[in-house]
Structure 1
Amino acid sequence: MIGGRRLQRESLGFDPNTPSVARLYDYLLGGKDHFPADRAAAEQILQVAPELRAAARAGRSFLGRAVRFLAGAGVGQFLDIGTGLPARGNVHELAPGARVVYVDRDPVVLVHARALLTGQGETTVVKGDLREPEALLKDPDVLRALDFDRPVALLLSSVMHYVEDGDGPEEIVATLRDALAPGSYLALSHGTSDARAEVVERATEVYRGADAPLTLRGRERIAGLFEGFELVDPGLVWLPEWRPEQADLIDFRDGPQSSLALCGIGRKD
């Protein structure tokens, strides 16, 4: 049985001894789809940043508020890149009737997503890499699911900080933006180097050993990712500050900067 599990893991193309950003996030959210290496890496960061669990919850909560806002604005199509492991409050659950394309490159994420999300409403699960936006936009499954002549909500939730500067994060977002029709939206959250210095240093160090390094950016760089979009109120803010509900503020009595990430929603005119 042990040998069978090992062969299955190898066939999926992942190493359980290398921390995965998707499984780290799952652990921080209290999920069950992670391995000892993921838990060990997360605990290393939590030693200096105990607020990281609350920050992960805040990121998931922002995604939920963003999707509800976008659905309320009349958007009926969502492109969720770097979707991560399925959790409570998936996009198709928050925007009933919408067409949703979930994209990830992690083989474990894809297995879970295809098992749990495919066939749930108008959902499609696609293997794709954010760093290759042209290929993603040409993917036949994406083109079948989404009509790019109509508004699409592009969701980049807690994923752009896994794109290194050498991969051209601004160019990636611009390529995706240019494919969107007027009236489309970008919802983005991004870990920031404006957080506590010791948190930034430790998190960056730990993620060097994961399947994707961490590149935290300052407010100006993150704001630049919204070029070509007009930010809706309240603009680019800390995670719990974006149109919060009462529960979103409970974990951050030391201030919203404890959420460690900035977020915003922009509209393409």
Structure 2
Amino acid sequence: MVEPDQPSTARMIDFWLGGEHHFPVDVAGARAFEQAYGPCAPVFRALRAFLGRAVRAMTRDGVDSFLVFGAGVPTMGNVHEVAPEATVLYTDVDPVTLRLGQRILAGSDRAGYGYGDATDIGTIDPAQLHRFVPGWGRRPVGVVFLGLAAFLDDDTLARTLDELYQATAPGSLLAVDFDTEELAGHPAALAMMGPAFRMRTPAAFAPLLGRWTPTGDGIVPVDRWRPDGPPEQVPDAFHGAVAVRSAD
């Protein structure tokens, strides 16, 4: 695999999580960001732990297939590792991460990786969707939408989540996160996120979900969403929720 010349957030997160699927350029990018912000590994461990708890909660509610947007590297406690009996379709738009994910999952018959733009469901290969999310549109499925909201403006995010609502069957569940204003206190780190990055106040989160209804846990800091024990003390960078697609 040709080594990329630009870091990717997905592979930087793999580095912070202690994974093995990143390149020197990603390590350099991660260390440069930490110089501007501080330690990132605890923050992303908390976010990945939230994903694990959310996926386990979905499986307890009967979900056995998942569609993952902005999937990044499919290791270190990602969906198919948390729910090994489920089928999972990971999607991303970054070509290097996409090839990396396909290589990692090459031997799996329960998890696949393909191109997919969350803002345009039609970009997903229908054959892959049918194979790995066989109940799509007909029975409840799990949709994972982490790490994406901060890179979509309000109108695009609301439209995207509403299109997902319309495309899924009643009873489907959505795992979603939002970036808080944590980086406002770290202007150098904020500048590294690029012009598309959007921080939001917690009051703005719920309206963006539209018709998706959060579970009774609400939209809370990810370390406080159904914690397995005392929540780890981490910066309040991400709020998360699991939301339900109700019957129309």
Using the size of structure 1 for normalisation, the TM-score is 0.81
Q: Could you say what secondary structure the match of 2:73 adopts?
A: coil
**2:14/2:76 contact within 8 Å kept:** no
Q: Could you say what secondary structure the match of 1:17 adopts?
A: coil
How far apart are residue 72 of structure 1 and its match?
A: 0.7
Residue 142 of structure 1 pairs with residue 129 of structure 2: yes
Q: Could you say what secondary structure the match of 1:83 adopts?
A: coil
Q: 2:43 aligns with which of 46, 51, 55?
A: 55
Quick one: which amino acid aligns to residue 126 of structure 2? D
Q: 2:95 aligns with which of 85, 104, 107?
A: 107
Q: Deviations over 1:196-230 (max 9, x none)?
A: 5223x33331122xxx9432222233222322122
Provide the rounded CA distance (Å) in 2 between the counterparts of 1:205 and 1:158. Answer: 17
Quick one: which amino acid aligns to residue 227 of structure 1? G
Q: 1:204 aligns with which of 180, 190, 193?
A: 190
How far apart are residue 65 of structure 1 and its match?
A: 0.5
Corresponding position of 2:68: 80
Provide the rounded CA distance (Å) in 1 between the counterparts of 2:90 and 2:205. Answer: 23
How far apart are residue 166 of structure 1 and its match?
A: 7.9
Residue 223 of structure 1 pairs with residue 206 of structure 2: yes
Using a 3 Å threshold, how does the CA distance of structure 1 residues 227 and 124 change in structure 2: closer, same or farther? same
Using a 3 Å threshold, how does the CA distance of structure 1 residues 141 and 230 change in structure 2: closer, same or farther? same
Q: 1:249 aligns with which of 220, 224, 231?
A: 231
Provide the rounded CA distance (Å) in 1 between the counterparts of 2:38 and 2:10. Answer: 19
Q: 1:96 aligns with which of 72, 76, 84?
A: 84
**2:183/2:189 contact within 8 Å kept:** no
Aligned residues with identical type, % of pairs = 32
Q: 2:150 aligns with which of 161, 168, 181?
A: 161
Provide the rounded CA distance (Å) in 1 between the counterparts of 2:140 and 2:206. Answer: 22
- More deviation, 175-184/226-235: 226-235
Using a 3 Å threshold, how does the CA distance of structure 1 residues 161 and 97 change in structure 2: closer, same or farther? same
Using the size of structure 2 for normalisation, the TM-score is 0.88
Q: Within 5 A, what are the aligned runs for 1:29-48?
A: 29-48=17-36
Aligned length: 244
Provide the rounded CA distance (Å) in 2 between the counterparts of 1:128 and 1:223. Answer: 25
Runs ≥4 in structure 1, deviation > 3 angstroms?
none
Quick one: which amino acid aligns to residue 198 of structure 2? T
How far apart are residue 128 of structure 1 and its match?
A: 1.4
CA RMSD of aligned residues (A): 2.3
Q: Within 5 A, what are the aligned runs for 1:10-21?
A: 16-21=4-9
Q: Could you say what secondary structure the match of 2:57 adopts?
A: helix
- Larger helix percent: 1
Provide the rounded CA distance (Å) in 1 between the counterparts of 2:71 and 2:204. Answer: 22
Provide the rounded CA distance (Å) in 2 between the counterparts of 1:114 and 1:56. Answer: 23
Provide the rounded CA distance (Å) in 2 between the counterparts of 1:102 and 1:224. Answer: 27
Q: Could you say what secondary structure the match of 1:161 adopts?
A: helix
How far apart are residue 106 of structure 1 and its match?
A: 1.7
**1:51/1:259 contact within 8 Å kept:** no
Q: Deviations over 1:108-135 (max 9, x none)?
A: 2222222222443422211112232333
Q: Deviations over 1:139-178 (max 9, x none)?
A: 3321343222000111012222233x28711111111111
Quick one: which amino acid aligns to residue 264 of structure 1? A
- More deviation, 146-155/224-233: 224-233
Residue 177 of structure 1 pairs with residue 140 of structure 2: no
How far apart are residue 100 of structure 1 and its match?
A: 1.1
Q: Deviations over 1:74-120 (max 9, x none)?
A: 11111111111122222122223222111111222222222222443
How far apart are residue 45 of structure 1 and its match?
A: 2.6
How far apart are residue 268 of structure 1 and its match?
A: 1.1
Long gaps (5+) in structure 2: none
